[in-house]
Structure 1
Amino acid sequence: MRLTTRTNLAIRALMYCAVHDGQLSRSAEIAHACNSSANHLAQVVHHLNAHGFVHATRGRMGGVKLARPARAINIGEVFRIFEADVPFTECFSLDNNTCPLVRACRLRNAIRRALDAFYREMDLVTLEDLVKGNYLLDEIFAVTDTAAVIGCAGPARAARG
């Protein structure tokens, strides 16, 4: 199983906002810290905002912050929203399924059960679980030179996972 880049970036951005809870964070800061382009992050933030995970405001005084407490943000819910448009296998796609085995395939049911188990586990995790007491994450997401971060044009750090 592999999550989409958008899902991965959504979780990174939410973690950044949770570490800076109560603060308005600039998109450029988040993009820099998450090793993302500002454009890609903007798309993800738009989606997070539309689903009520963050408040995002545009403009010079704008920024991003959590729309609800970290303990109220369920990681399984975030995954489902961002992964909804990407079927795990071709046979799960109603529009693009060309597999001739779909009616007789037993693997499909096993994959469905495995995905259900994955989401059941992710439903047990909140954003708070990912950030509370995670001092290394606090260090990684520390904003030390805002002017330099805002001036960056794209990814400037190695991926942090």
Structure 2
Amino acid sequence: MRLTERTDIAVRILIFLSLFKGQKVSIDQLAEQYIGHRAQIVAAVQQLRKAGMIGSIPGRNGGIWIEKDPSEISVAEIVRMFETDFAMTTCMNHNDDCTLIGSCRLPRLLNEALARFFEPLEAATIADLIVPNAMRIIEGNREDTERVKAFTPVRAETGAS
């Protein structure tokens, strides 16, 4: 099973906003931090705002911030919000074209596996995903990125002599 990029972006947005503890952050700042492409960030922000997890003010001086306590947002809640289909087989979509319906245990087994997949996600919150000293790590990563950009050698032109 693989989560969509939008789910990943939504989780990263919530982590990033949690680090800023209610301070306003712009969509452009999120994009600059490699959270995702701007259009995907905007789409995820809209869903998170509708769910009451983040607040927003539109416009030039606007931005977004976390509204809900990160320790009250389960990872499973985010996954279920952004993932639309957990049916691993067609019969899990209640498709009655299969002649084996009623005599096959595969859907039950897959549903049990899915329930087990969600157990740790239910127990984990956005707050649990943040490591100690996260802001210092982010700042260090940003400085390293700037240093790498500053010291990337310019490709020498080769010419025949």
State if a TM-score over 0.5 links the two structures: yes
Report the counterpart of residue 122 of structure 2 in structure 1: 123
Identity %: 26
Call closer, same or farther: CA 1:98–1:33 in 2, change over 3 Å.
farther
Report the counterpart of residue 139 of structure 1 in structure 2: 137
Call closer, same or farther: CA 1:64–1:14 in 2, change over 3 Å.
same
Call closer, same or farther: CA 1:132–1:139 in 2, change over 3 Å.
closer
Call closer, same or farther: CA 1:134–1:92 in 2, change over 3 Å.
farther
Aligned length: 141
Given that residues 35 and 41 in structure 2 are in contact (C-alpha distance below 8 angstroms), is that contact kept between their aligned partners in structure 1?
Answer: no
Q: How does 1:25-64 map to 2 (within 5 A)?
A: 25-64=25-64
Amino acid aligned to 1:64: I
Q: Which runs of 5+ in 1 are unaligned?
A: 146-161
State the Cα distance separating 1:17 from its structure 2 match: 0.5
Amino acid aligned to 1:91: C
For 1:93 and 1:35, locate their aligned partners in 2 and report how far apart those are by CA, in whole Å: 33
For 1:141 and 1:108, locate their aligned partners in 2 and report how far apart those are by CA, in whole Å: 47
State the Cα distance separating 1:87 from its structure 2 match: 3.2
Amino acid aligned to 2:82: F
Call closer, same or farther: CA 1:93–1:138 in 2, change over 3 Å.
farther
State the Cα distance separating 1:73 from its structure 2 match: 1.2
Q: Which runs of 5+ in 2 are unaligned?
A: 144-161
Report the counterpart of residue 73 of structure 2 in structure 1: 73
For 1:42 and 1:59, locate their aligned partners in 2 and report how far apart those are by CA, in whole Å: 13
Q: Which protein is bigger by CA-based radius of gyration?
A: 2
For 1:5 and 1:101, locate their aligned partners in 2 and report how far apart those are by CA, in whole Å: 35
Report the counterpart of residue 150 of structure 2 in structure 1: none
Name the TM-score, length of structure 1 as normaliser.
0.76
Amino acid aligned to 2:38: A
For 1:65 and 1:142, locate their aligned partners in 2 and report how far apart those are by CA, in whole Å: 23
SS of the equivalent of 2:86 reads coil
SS of the equivalent of 2:123 reads coil
Name the TM-score, length of structure 2 as normaliser.
0.76
For 1:70 and 1:64, locate their aligned partners in 2 and report how far apart those are by CA, in whole Å: 15
